[in-house]
Structure 1
Amino acid sequence: MGARKETAPATAATATRAQDEGLGRTSQQMIAQRRKRFAREAEEWIAENEGAWSYMVKAARGYASQNRRFGMQELAEQVRRRDFTDSHGRTTKVNNNHVAALARLLMAEVPACRQLIERRTSAYDGLIG
């Protein structure tokens, strides 16, 4: 009976590790799918919120001309404080899940921002621009 007790934890740990590894792959796939969805939704947001996006692009160009560092979250907050409406006449909302993807899209549209916009390494780096 003593031998079974000694091997049980090792067996349980091995089974748990295998299970975690399997979940890890599934989890990574789910995360990748979510990032692709957020990137697609960010592009859709731009199409539906042309006024707000134009404001962001104009602000980014202004910052670039001043060689001023800025963050996409800052631009998102500025949009939230203004009275923009989307293509359906609703008040523009910026989803925080889309901010990183919007930053990459902004850098593609205003390349001068690449050195100025504050960002972390992101999964969107490989998906956009």
Structure 2
Amino acid sequence: MDKETINFGEFKQQWAIQGMRKYIYQDFDNNFEERKREIIREKDIINFYNKYCRKERNEAAFCCKLFHTILPNEFPPLDNPIRNHFKLHRIDFIESLLIVKKAYELFIKDNQDKIQMIRDILNKPKFKI
């Protein structure tokens, strides 16, 4: 998905975000650059979620996927299968994301040798696109 031209109706469909009302995602269409700059500048998913994603129903999945799309190196992907795998399905979606994010950060910090091995393998010519 081209981050420069996100259409939130398509974003909602692509990421299977059900039940989100059109007027909510149209607000993101109409204010995308402003919202994107705020995400990049603040990197505060809780504040952003409370400010923009708590309209008629909580849109935590949308917010998590939006942050991952704009800041993929800082906010990991999260969906229900991942939450279920880590037994986080009873925890708020945003809190689940922050738990998974922290776990990734700790794993990377504590396993630099494994991370380097993965990088070396993925840098081989057969994995180049």
Q: TM-score scaled to structure 2, two decimals?
A: 0.32
**Larger Rg: 1 or 2?**
1
TM-score between the two structures when normalised by the length of structure 1: 0.32
- Name the one with the larger helix percent: 1
Q: Which has the higher contact order (CA 8 A, sep 6+)?
A: 1
